[in-house]
Structure 1
Amino acid sequence: MGKIKILIVDDSAFMRKLITDFLTEDSRMSVVGTARNGQDALKKIKELKPDVVTMDVEMPIMDGISALERIMKESPVPVIMLSSTTKVGAENTIQAMQIGAIDFIAKPSGAISLDLYKVKDELIEKVVSASKVKLSKLLISPMQEKKPISNRVSYSKIEPKEEKTVKIVDSKWNPASSKLIVLGTSTGGPRALQHVITKLPASINAPILIVQHMPAGFTQSLANRLNSLSEITVKEAEDGETIQKGIAYIAPGGYHLRVKSSGNTLVIELDQSTPVNGHRPSVDVMFESASELNNYDKLAVIMTGMGSDGTNGLIKLVNSGRVKSIAESKETSIVFGMPKAAIATNYVDEVQNVENIAQTIMKYV
Structure 2
Amino acid sequence: MIDVLVVDDSAFMRKLLSDFINEQSNMKVKDIARNGKDALLKLKHRSYDVITLDIEMPEMNGLEALRKIMSEHPYPVVMVSSLTQEGAKQTIQAMEEGAVDFVAKPSGAISLDLHLVKNELVYKIKAAANVNISAHIASNKIRQHSSLQETLQYKSGDKNFLAIGTSTGGPKALQKVLPHLKADFPAPIFIVQHMPPAFTRSLADRLDQLSNITIKEADDGEIVKKGKAYIAPGGKHLTVRKMGRSLITEVTSAPPQNSHRPSVDVLFSSLAELEDYSGAALIMTGMGSDGAKGLVEMKKRQSCVALTESQNTAIVYGMPKAAAETAGADYILDLHEIAPFLNQSFCNK
TM-score, scaled relative to structure 2: 0.95
Who is 2:169 aligned against? 188
Who is 1:211 aligned against? 192
Counterpart code for 1:19: L
Counterpart code for 2:184: S
From 42, 49, 52, give the equivalent of 1:51. 49
What's the CA shift for 1:210? 0.4
Counterpart code for 2:20: F
Per-residue CA distance 1:202-260 (angstroms, 9 max, x = gap): 10000101000000000000000000100111100000010111111101011111101
What's the CA shift for 1:351? 0.4
Equivalent-residue separation in structure 2 for 1:115 and 1:95 (angstroms): 25
Per-residue CA distance 1:87-123 (angstroms, 9 max, x = gap): 0100111111111111111111111111111111221
Counterpart code for 1:133: V
Who is 2:79 aligned against? 81
**Identity %, equivalent residues:** 50
Is 2:261 aligned against 1:263?
no
From 197, 200, 224, give the equivalent of 2:205. 224
Who is 2:138 aligned against? 140
Equivalent-residue separation in structure 2 for 1:179 and 1:95 (angstroms): 32
Counterpart code for 1:20: S
Equivalent-residue separation in structure 2 for 1:146 and 1:170 (angstroms): 18
Larger displacement relative to structure 2 (135-144 or 251-260): 135-144
From 304, 314, 317, give the equivalent of 1:336. 317
Give the 5 Å matches for 1:191-340.
191-340=172-321
Equivalent-residue separation in structure 1 for 2:189 and 2:267 (angstroms): 12
Question: Is there any run of 5+ residues in structure 1 with no aligned partner, and where?
Answer: 152-168
Aligned length: 345
Equivalent-residue separation in structure 2 for 1:30 and 1:275 (angstroms): 29
Larger displacement relative to structure 2 (213-222 or 108-117): 108-117
- Given that 1:175 and 1:364 are in contact with CA atoms closer than 8 Å, whether structure 2 keeps it comes out as no
Equivalent-residue separation in structure 1 for 2:328 and 2:134 (angstroms): 29
Larger displacement relative to structure 2 (22-31 or 263-272): 22-31
Is 2:327 aligned against 1:350?
no
Equivalent-residue separation in structure 1 for 2:291 and 2:215 (angstroms): 21
Equivalent-residue separation in structure 2 for 1:283 and 1:249 (angstroms): 13
Is 2:88 aligned against 1:90?
yes
Q: Tell me the SS of whatever aligns to 2:177.
A: helix
Counterpart code for 2:92: I
- Given that 2:145 and 2:340 are in contact with CA atoms closer than 8 Å, whether structure 1 keeps it comes out as no
What's the CA shift for 1:146? 8.1
- Given that 1:148 and 1:353 are in contact with CA atoms closer than 8 Å, whether structure 2 keeps it comes out as no
What's the CA shift for 1:269? 0.6
- Given that 2:188 and 2:225 are in contact with CA atoms closer than 8 Å, whether structure 1 keeps it comes out as yes
Q: Tell me the SS of whatever aligns to 1:183.
A: strand
Q: Tell me the SS of whatever aligns to 2:314.
A: coil
Q: Relative to 1, partners in 2 of residues 1:18 and 1:346: Cα closer, same or farther, differing over 3 Å? A: closer
Counterpart code for 1:258: T
Q: Relative to 1, partners in 2 of residues 1:334 and 1:149: Cα closer, same or farther, differing over 3 Å? A: farther
- Given that 2:144 and 2:340 are in contact with CA atoms closer than 8 Å, whether structure 1 keeps it comes out as no
Equivalent-residue separation in structure 2 for 1:246 and 1:281 (angstroms): 22
Is 2:21 aligned against 1:23?
yes
Counterpart code for 1:23: I
Per-residue CA distance 1:104-144 (angstroms, 9 max, x = gap): 11111111111111111221122122122232122114341
- Given that 1:103 and 1:188 are in contact with CA atoms closer than 8 Å, whether structure 2 keeps it comes out as yes
Counterpart code for 2:83: T
Per-residue CA distance 1:168-211 (angstroms, 9 max, x = gap): x997x333342111111001000000000011011000010100
Equivalent-residue separation in structure 2 for 1:177 and 1:262 (angstroms): 16
Counterpart code for 1:129: A
Give the 5 Å matches for 1:80-119.
80-119=78-117
Who is 2:118 aligned against? 120
- Given that 1:33 and 1:48 are in contact with CA atoms closer than 8 Å, whether structure 2 keeps it comes out as no
Counterpart code for 1:252: P
Per-residue CA distance 1:337-357 (angstroms, 9 max, x = gap): 110011003531100011111
Q: Relative to 1, partners in 2 of residues 1:50 and 1:66: Cα closer, same or farther, differing over 3 Å? A: same
Larger displacement relative to structure 2 (180-189 or 354-363): 354-363
Equivalent-residue separation in structure 2 for 1:84 and 1:32 (angstroms): 24
What's the CA shift for 1:326? 0.6
What's the CA shift for 1:267? 0.6
Who is 1:70 aligned against? 68
Question: Is there any run of 5+ residues in structure 2 with no aligned partner, and where?
Answer: none
Equivalent-residue separation in structure 1 for 2:307 and 2:129 (angstroms): 27
The alignment's C-alpha RMSD in Å is 1.9
Equivalent-residue separation in structure 1 for 2:101 and 2:152 (angstroms): 37
- Given that 2:296 and 2:327 are in contact with CA atoms closer than 8 Å, whether structure 1 keeps it comes out as no
